[in-house]
Amino acid sequence: MLMKLKKNIAISESGFVFNPEIGTSFTTNSLGVAILKQLKSKTSSEEIIESIIKNYEIDATTCEKDLGDFLRILDQFNLIDS
Amino acid sequence: MLKKKNITIAVTALNAIDSPGPGIAVIRGLRESEFYNVKIIGLAYEILEPGIYMDDMVDKVYQIPFPSSGFDAMLERFRYIQEKENIDVVIPNFDAELMTFIKLKPYFNKMGIQLLIPTKEQFEERLKGSLNEFGEKHGIKVPKSETIYQIDELEEVLKEFEYPVVIKGKFYDAYIATSFEQAREFYFKVSAKWGTPIIIQEFINGNEFNVTALGDGKGTMMGAVPMRKTFLTDKGKAWAGISIDDPKLIEMANTIITKTNWGGGLELELMKEDKTGDLYLLEINPRFPAWIYLANGCGQNHPEMLVKLAMNEKVKPLIKYDIGKMFIRYSYDMVCDLDKYEKISIHGEV
């Protein structure tokens, strides 16, 4: 599945995320930043899961579920291109 | 280096209180002008308007009569002030005073004072009670609204709406009512403060955005900066906000200014409906907002541009502005000597 982050979302290395279209801002951790960056470069969910499993101690099922939750939050916060 | 031109500018709305008038923010923009060396004449209605006591903002202050004192009283006061100060431009910043300044404009021009303000037609067309017609005329979505003058009309009018509804005053104040009882309470609250009519407006569920913009009076938008409030006071006023990047908001400002040939500053209050993403125009405030200094911080000095336009200087419209600039207000206690208070109280000038 391919989900796209809205094109002008600003992500800083510190984990500060800014949506300039509506002026909202959020904070996330280093893994969140990594996922957001991948979403920005139009990486698929499958590829994101693969890269997380490679770098963190997590099984594929849990990773898929957690990523799904994270993507739903991003959608709720209006950060995903519909 | 360009030599700055000396200019004398009079500014109203020095009430930098918790629900501030725009005067001080306008003056800050003018003081930062790269084109003008400004002498600021503050115009105050009340003797405790904080701007009167801000020496770095105003060079001289005159008390002026309330608009309710009538046209003649205001004209006489301005003749007196003009004899002493030789004002080049006046920037009125209150909704409630604007009609008086519109009437005074030809007299001001004869005295050598320039203004860039909307015309009577422009001012009246955007009145809250006329917003439905304004929307229809210019193809802009507005929430359904009805204007009432008496409490007896409220129940009948509310049958046309679904709760919640918004109860608004003709100049200021808006409350969200979820029942007839609440609507009735807010009717009395708002009418006691601002008189009638009262506007009953459909509630749009979504996010509110604001745009400050400047029109040259000939159909060109000279600049616009959109903002979302990020912190509200208990009166619902912006205490903090951030400039945002939404071309639809700029487009709305451009449509209004070009279609109405708007002259002067204005603030749009807009609601983006959650369900549809449609933009609804809630209000057009016919003057700069209190947060106008944010536009300056974003690279568009609208007060300076307004003065240039009023003085027939060449001005290039500005399109670019910084996105993600924030403003945050703060409270500050000035300690002042009694003599200023005495002078403004006794002589009406200081």
Predicted ipTM of the assembly: 0.80
The label of the residue with tokens 């290395």 reads A13
Residue B171 has pLDDT above 90, yes or no: no
* pLDDT over 70 (residue B46): yes
Q: What is the pLDDT of residue B237?
A: 86
**H/E segment holding residue A35:** helix A30-40
State how far the alpha carbon of B219 is from the alpha carbons of A43, B254, B300, B320, B322, in Å.
46, 9, 19, 19, 24
pLDDT value at residue B126: 87
Q: What percent of chain B has pLDDT over 70?
A: 100
pLDDT digits (tens, 9 = 90+) for B155-166: 999 999 999 999
pLDDT for B339 beyond 70: yes
Q: Work out the pLDDT band at A81, boundaries 50, 70, 90.
A: confident
Q: How confident is the model at residue B174 (pLDDT cuts 50, 70, 90)?
A: confident
* Cβ contacts of B275 on chain A, cutoff 8 Å: none
pLDDT, residue B1, reads 61
Q: Is A75 near chain B, with CB under 8 Å?
A: no
Contact with chain A for residue B240, Cβ under 8 A: no
φ, ψ dihedrals at B45, nearest 5°: -90, -35
User: Are residues B241 and A21, on separate chains, in Cβ contact within 8 Å?
Assistant: no
Measured CA to CA, the distance from residue B120 to residue B139 in angstroms comes to 21
Hey, what are B112's tokens?
């050598």
Averaged pLDDT for residues B119-123: 94
> Within a 10 A sphere around the Cβ of B30, how many other Cβ atoms?
23
At B3-28, the pLDDT tens digits run 899 999 999 999 999 889 999 999 99
Would you state the pLDDT for residue B33? Answer: 96
Task: State how far residue B244 is from chain A, nearest Cα, in angstroms.
Answer: 5
